[in-house]
Amino acid sequence: MSYTYFLHPQAVEDYSEAYAWYEERQAGLGERFMKAVRFKIDEIVQHPETYGSRGRKEFREAMVDYFPYQIVYKIHKRKKLIHISSIHHTKKHPRKKYRK
């Protein structure tokens, strides 16, 4: 049972900044980052309850493969909607990953 997803505007900004940073370091690395994030979002959309919560119980966290980022999201079961709060670098302050 597939859900739809919505990216918080600041999550889009996080995603774009990370892409640019990786692409600046090495050509093609930003694309690899984007593919890894898209793959993880596809997994979340297909099976949203696979990943658990760590901090706040209403949020769930899924680590992006090969990159130090996690996707922080909430599930709205009745609406069949995944709200992606942030695409958070694991070295940044953890409280900044929870957005409503």
Domain locations in the chain as residue ranges: 4-97
Specify the pTM. Answer: 0.88
Check residue 52 and give its pLDDT. 86
Tell me the CATH number for domain 4-97: 3.30.2310.20
Check residue 17 and give its pLDDT. 94
Q: How many CB atoms lie within 10 A of CB 87?
A: 29
Tens of pLDDT, residues 30-88: 999 999 999 999 999 999 998 887 766 789 999 999 999 999 999 999 999 999 999 99
Separation between Cα atoms, residue 72 and residue 59, nearest integer Å:
6
**Residue type for 52, please?**
G
List own/partner pairs for 54-57 with CB under 8 A and 24 or more apart.
Answer: 55/94, 55/97, 55/98, 56/98
The two structure tokens encoding residue 39: 């793959």
